[in-house]
Amino acid sequence: MVSRTIFCLSAFLVLSVLSTSASSSEELSPYYYYHVCPQALPAIKRVVEAAVCKERRMGASLLRLHFHDCFVNGCDASVLLDSSPTIDSEKFAIPNNNSLRGFEVVDQIKLEVDKVCGRPVVSCADILAVAARDSVVALGGPTWPVLLGRKDSTTASRDQANKDLPPPFLDLPALISNFKRQGLNERDLVALSGGHTIGPAQCFTFRNRIYNKTNIDPEFADQLKSSCPLKGGDSNLCSSRPNTRTI
């Protein structure tokens, strides 16, 4: 639990860098909605806690959803936009398609927040940021103040998502280069990679490593092989850490 919470908090700090650098000229503040709608953050927390209570894996999914939003043109909720004649939705980018989860929870949060605020005053970008934090807390991790006041994007880019989001098959030099393009260093890379330890991974993303690589704990590799056969079972879920149950 200790390593998990440290990584989650570190991952948040990296996302904060992405978020702040890509925000508007207005200063972000954890008190942005304090006067206009003080009920907003408690409402987000209630929906997230209910979703995680129903399915613990959803906590990891909401954190990942925020990461995939922030890594493409900043934390602007562009990942939530559906396709239209003028929008090429990021939902169908290779790293996101049939992979990102939690959209229905975000919809529930938006409905609840608009209800308690009496009107749509909270941006979806801020909802994603707060939901990521509340998910970590709901899973037993740390809390932190979330800077608020982001504006929602009106555009999305599937091409940019395909270009920016790092696939699971990159080696270390390629990952370092990928993160540098986002203004992030090796420490940030370790933090965000560690943030993935709170959820399971699909078999196809690590099959090659457990069957063909030697720089992995053999007992852990055998544990993964029991759920991830050499052929088939691409969507089988396995824990990203040895001897732990998935969430």
Q: List the CATH number of the domain containing 44.
A: 1.10.520.10
Claim to verify: residue 91 and residue 136 sit in the same structural domain: yes
- SS3 category, 154: coil
Residue 244 CB partners (closer than 8 Å, separation 6+): none
- Do 158 and 223 sit in the same domain of this protein? no
Catalytic residues: 68
pLDDT recorded at residue 170: 86
Average pLDDT, the chain: 86
Q: What is the pLDDT of residues 173-213, one digit of tens each?
A: 999 999 999 889 999 888 887 777 776 788 888 898 899 98
Q: ∠5-7-9 over CA atoms, to 5°?
A: 70
Predicted pLDDT of residue 124: 97
**Dist. CA 73–CA 153, nearest whole Å:** 9
Shared domain for 55 and 155, answered yes or no, is yes
pLDDT band at 2 (very low <50, low <70, confident <90, very high): very low
Mark the binding-site residues for heme b, compressed into ranges: 196
CA 236 – CA 227 distance, rounded (Å): 7
Is 175 found in the same domain as 69? yes
**pLDDT value at 15 more than 90:** no
Q: Residues 62, 117: one domain?
A: yes
Q: Of the given ranges (44-48, 157-161, 191-195, 231-235), which has the lowest mean pLDDT?
A: 191-195
> Which amino acid, residue 167?
P
Specify the pTM. Answer: 0.79
Same domain, 77 and 126: yes
Q: Same domain for 172 and 231?
A: no
Residue 149 scores a pLDDT above 70? yes
Residues of the binding site:
69, 72, 74, 76, 78, 90, 166, 196-197
Output the pLDDT for position 200. Answer: 78
Can you tell me the mean pLDDT for 103-125?
97
Residue 10 has pLDDT above 50, yes or no: no
Residues 62 and 116 in one domain: yes
- How confident is residue 132, by pLDDT bands cut at 50, 70 and 90? very high
Residue 190 contacts residue 228 (beta carbons within 8 Å) = no
Same domain, 57 and 160: yes
Shared-domain flag, residues 15 and 98: yes
Q: At 160, list the tokens.
A: 């940019």
Which pLDDT value is given to residue 1? 32
Q: What is the pLDDT of residues 212-242, one digit of tens each?
A: 988 888 998 998 999 999 999 998 988 655 5
Number of structural domains (the chain) is 2
Q: Which residues are annotated as a binding site for substrate?
A: 166
User: Residue 137 — very low, low, confident or very high, per pLDDT cuts 50/70/90?
Assistant: very high
Question: Domain range holding 137?
Answer: 2-196
227 touches 220 (CB < 8 A): no
What percent of the chain has pLDDT above 90?
60
